[in-house]
Structure 1
Amino acid sequence: MLQIVSEMTLLQIRHGLLLFLITAVPAQVNPGVCRYPLGMTGGQIPDDDISASSQWSESTAARYGRLDFDDGDGDGAWCPKIMAEAEFLQVDLRSLHFITLVGTQGRHADGMGNEFAQRYRIKYSRDGTRWVAWQDRKGSQVIEGNKNAYDVVLKDMEPPIIARFIRFMPVADNSMIVCMRVELYGCEWLDGLVSYSAPAGQEMTYGGKNVNLNDSVYDGTLGLRMEHGLGQLTDGAWGLDDFLFSNVYGVWPGYDYVGWTNESFPKGYVEMKFEFDRIRNFTSMKVHCSNMFSRGVRMFRQTTCYFRTSESEWESAAVTFRPPEDRVSQIARFITVPLGGRMATSIKCRFAFNEAWVMISEVAFQSAGTAVYNTSLPPRKRGHPTNLLPGDDPVHKVDESNTRILIGCLVAVILILLAIIVIIMWRQVWQKMLEKASRRILDDELSARLAIQTQAFSFHHSSQSSGSTSNSTYERIFPLCSPDYQEPSRLIRKLPEFAQSIEDLGHRCSVSLCSVSSAAGSSSRQLQACGSDGAPHYAEADIVNQQEGAASSSYSITAVNMNLLSGKDTDMREFPRDKLTFKEKLGEGQFGEVHLCEAEGMQGFVEKNLPGEVTSCLEGSEGSRDTVLVAVKTLREDANKNARNDFLKEIRIMSRLRDPNIVSLLAVCVESDPLCMITEYMENGDLNQFLSCHQLNQAEQTPTSDHSTVSYSSLISMGTQIASGMKYLSSLNFVHRDLATRNCLVGKNYTIKIADFGMSRNLYRGDYYRIQGRAVLPIRWMSWESILLGKFTMASDVWAFGVTLWEILNLCKEQPYCQFSDEQVIENTGEFFRDQGKQVYLPRPHCCPDLLYSSLMLGCWRRNAKQRPTFQEIYNQLGESQE
């Protein structure tokens, strides 16, 4: 019993120290978040840094090989003169970068061309002389490319690439003509590590299995030693606690680790050398080790590091560090080795054996003056405890005195007993509070159900059908059943089961408008069918509205005009289908596709058939008055009846949305199949990517001619426009559920319109937390009551607006709570619920005045939803700050 209590206490101590350790130790680069476009599309990479082996003509030179970019001079892509194996398009990034994603596209040249690369290879170099052919974790070098000239195809680099120079090499028959447009995604490689050398990993036999502990993705010279390369120790992926298993599907046991046995090293240590791009002032080294001593593996007993600059001899003064011994926990962990600010271009470290085997999965360095990676800690599987232990702190001292150890144990036992007593008392009080809250919510839910039944009309989820189960959507309120209700801490640990239990409860009343934005934006979008991931994100016609009375307050259902769901649509008119010219496919879902089209005569059609406020949405569109670019969402002809009804209901609801800051529906084609809805097209894409390519203009009072900068007043104007659009939605009692910069579109002159397509893009998959494949939630933008209670209201949208404004004022350079993993974000929402002063708020952006942060942002994140400002108040306050 004492051992169990001790282990529980150890876990609590680790969780208590987690936030401190996150802020004290620089974050590792995370491939899931390090996915920023590096400048081919946005133009940050100049033409001089783009070259090629050859070109078909001057109009297909290398400088035209930019994804989704057309300056009107060239033919829209790079095309080699003759298709041969050695042809390549090369990009110079000017410094080492950590590349996690690449995008490719073909050439259509406004209908004059149809060339694309069906397959290609990538070579990379860190110094411009030694080139390495990239291969995936299974050893394949060929990457599947494009299937047509229009779509953008994104491919994850697994493993990631650390390089300065990148070459795209088409693979095709010599008789074919291929053309390419490309983009690179990642972030700057701040470690500065250009290579590491070590003995080749060895093989273990355990339980009749061959455990291969080699560095399978090492890109240097392989032999008895690994020389002049990088590999698994720098790929940003940690090994699991049990080295026999891996997060990578279908690989061999031991894949994540590089390991050595002491039988092969008579001196009792493994020696590794690390080479860097320049002289650096090193403060620490982080080494991720396995500690599964039950299988003969333990973290190193001691490390001794030597330093040198340039070609000089190794300095005699070494740094020696002994991590605290741990014979209790078999959890893999990072060990932080202090390097004392030593200056060097090379480091040689000797890791002494503490058991039969030493296994390492990641090594990272921090040097003075180097910025911390703009990423979060790498996510771990749900249920796995963190790998950081108190003993990993280099200043943690181990007392060798038996007397002091005995006294310490006695004190620990006393504290444990006191903690158990406090926990028991606290749980009893907490349970009573939660039971009262549960009964109140159940009463409100019952009142809401009775109110619905007495109405003259009711709403049903359009995707339900007889004899089948529809894709689940999240309820307006998740009712909590008294016998199964748990406090938030247990709710967090059992979030997947909670989502499963609530999925089948109640009567669905949602009418999703997720198509509002799936038909907009300038980048390629891998769109998913609305509701296929479990949650409609844009708005629902049946929402929770807080009614405040003089004596009490309660939640009730606000009925929406039945005309939104039935009756003839009097606003939308049929647009001639033959006047739509296909330009590019933007994305696709389960039941339809989204295309970029030219619409002939659309502006005149809108002016004639729709209210005056709609015509403004076409002002500034590309093309002439007779031809404008629009986004067209189509429903496949083989879609079932429920999908068809959903599509028509989306049209009816969207036709009523008339606001300058909401993406507008312009026309429809519903007299024949395939059904189409036509929306406006925003040429500058989403706000997140738009701002991430800009820097803050310090001369805020005057506009700048530099298109790569944006002023503070422009940022506030963007926030004001978003508040205006949300003010309009709130007046209609619509709840957005996924307000973020990725779901705001940018037109000309910084015009902002609210939409919802972030979840459908691979680029933003790191912003969503998936619950066992059933639902995806943007937890970093969600209020505590939305995460823990499933309650989505106007007040939860206000919370998300505060996070969105924080993104804007940071120019989208980092993800909210970037220092937290997804599980830690959920734990932090539990602290908001408990309200004991332990919750962590997003910090004030550098350009944000103290008054705006304290009065507006923190106001949006108040625990009590009633105390948060309304969108009308937010709009007024932002308007005053602009004056």
Structure 2
Amino acid sequence: TPPSLLLSLTLPFLNFFSPLSTTLPSLCRYPLGMSGGQIQDEDISASSQWSESTAARYGRLDFEEGDGAWCPETVEPDSLKEFLQIDLRSLHFITLVGTQGRHAGGIGNEFAQMYKIKYSRDGSRWISWRNRQGKQVIEGNRNAYDIVLKDLEPPIIARFVRFMPVSDHSMNVCMRVELYGCEWLDGLVSYNAPVGEQMSLEGESVHLNDSVYDGAVIFSMTEGLGQLTDGMCGLDDFTQSHVYNVWPGYDYVGWTNESFSSGYVEIMFEFDRARNFTTMKVHCNNMFTRHVKAFRQVMCYFRSEADWEAKPLSFSPSPDDVNPSARFVTVSLANHMASAIKCQFYFADTWMMFSEITFQSGDHVPWSLSWDDPTHKVDDSNTRILIGCLVAIIFILVAIIVIILWRQVWQKMLEKVGELVYSRACTHTHTHTHTCSFDRVTPRSGVSPHSSVLDSRLRLTNAAVAATASKAPAATVGQDGVPHYAEADIVNLQGVTGGNTYAVPALTMDLLSGKDVAVEEFPRKLLTFKEKLGEGQFGEVHLCEAEGMQEFMNKDFPFDITENQPELVAVKMLRADANKNARNDFLKEIKIMSRLKDPNIIRLLAVCICSDPLCMITEYMENGDLNQFLCRHEPEGQLALISNAPTVSYSNLCYMATQIASGMRYLSSLNFVHRDLATRNCLVGKNYTIKIADFGMSRNLYSGDYYRIQGRAVLPIRWMSWESILLGKFTTASDVWAFGVTLWETLTFCKEQPYSQLTDEQVIENTGEFFRDQKRQIYLPQPALCPDPVYKIMLSCWRRNTKERPSFQEIYRALLESQA
């Protein structure tokens, strides 16, 4: 499906650089080489064949060589003796399979209506795949030419895979197949652990067993892999699950301390070879209200050869009795070399529950001195360093070449297909939507995986282009009946930082900018430079002190000004060498900003435009931005008393959030779309006064909040709605989404980035879940300080349907009512 395979082409090095991400089934969906030819003929074998022209090597998806497929001898009822076997040469995490019958240009009409899969990690022990409900048979093809893709739920970790056609009567079948996944970088081949236990919770049984474990299960689990390696992290509430129609506790493997007199659970991990381990990540439940906590301590022993090291490595995570969210605990393994690790996890409460354990390692195998003596390892550290440097240099050179070629191909692709895929509207209505419409969105089923990858990539990249285009799209009514803007009817203010801050309808622009500029020229000599706040493509933002600013204040609007004292101001300065378009945009921005009059919007105070460099002078609040302000404070409570940290009460948090909603209510009334609402773009003054600003993008401090797509657009994806990321559609409704994230930031005191447990790529993939709307999308968790009514406001901001999201007026009222 397009969103699921979105990253297959855009992130070719994801497997190498992010071992943890490769265990996510939604990201790990690369074709492994049957159709592409990377899997060699000698690695494809079969139990039998019709003839030489239907041998195993012809069983490649989407190929028509030989007689068009692998065809075994007749498949007998209830017999599993016929199989097509693929050797991947190394362990792989396999999430998806594709099958096809024999078409042969219309000559063939044989296909497998049903099949089973067996897999092996070592070639000797074979395991029958079962889905999460225990079913082995997979529905196959209904004709000879369509490709049918099936998700493996749960995914498998294997080197060898067998496709075994199944029939209820004697018949001829033919198959072409493909495997999708990625290399299993952990190298983990099995874990041995005590069997998960059962909890009784309010009269209901919560089964915390490893239901997909593929090893032996008696009193303990041995020689297998299961839920701790299936790439699925459990939810905060362990009684709930990502998977439908399963029992409470399904996502977790859990134990009670009553069963372990030693006070710990021991799990042993076996790997394919000796590896240099850097970290272990353990996803733990921490629902302490149910007496479940992450482990108190872990002791890890390492076995590099035959014997275990005597001295264990010890690690104790920081206890957390405030946040009940599940989390990854990262354990440093200090570059120990081992082929097996035995870890003793000590209980911190009555129950301990894990849903995922992953390992990261560096250089896996020591170099050998000669081919004749593989057991003779190099002891000369200088030699190892030299070889490592040479490998690194080669890798860097290859990467540079690939990137250069990739960019050239991509530019040509955009030029050729951009006009076909990215259609702009051309009739006029009045609304405040800024969008780009696409010719087609590929449906979920019946699609070649190759075309869907391309469509997804084009959709994301065009969204990025739409988000940063110098002109925005003109009001039209699309096929869905939703009005859109086309290029002539939106004015995007480029801004000195190179970021589009406000998307302003042209009608509004005409009304606001048709008058003379309502701000005065300010003497440059009265500005004293304090520090550079940020910079962008066309200019810089400076924090300055301004003398005599009182004389330039608009008397009909209140300002927080101290008499006869220099005032802190933000000065946006256009570079003297900026091009003509940038200068025009700068002057337009001055006109627009001069008309914005709201207590919760940063005001334009004065300008310096009589000579270069052009400057606009805006308010700056003495407490800086809201993100840094909250990071320096703690919620009221015992923890703040112990640490002697400054505090902010819950009522003041709500007061600040209400002001943000009020400011956005004003902007939306003018049909302004902000596009970068976040705590970093809200400034804090005296008495918790909040004003919305626009230069967070330019600050290096927040560079990690923005994601760059193909060097074209820098997008705050963790604050963006799904339609903004996938469709390039920016509206007041997408600002509402960003407000929900901003409210979440505020109530968590900005202690972590939104979706901090996800990489940028996983955040984008999560938007695909909103697109599919199959209830598998991940929402930001309810903050500890957040009451249920306020969290409901957040959730309403993140509704999939833009029409169902509340207006800023409704949000403003709801927040006021929550404080009553």
TM normalised by structure 2 equals 0.50
TM normalised by structure 1 equals 0.46
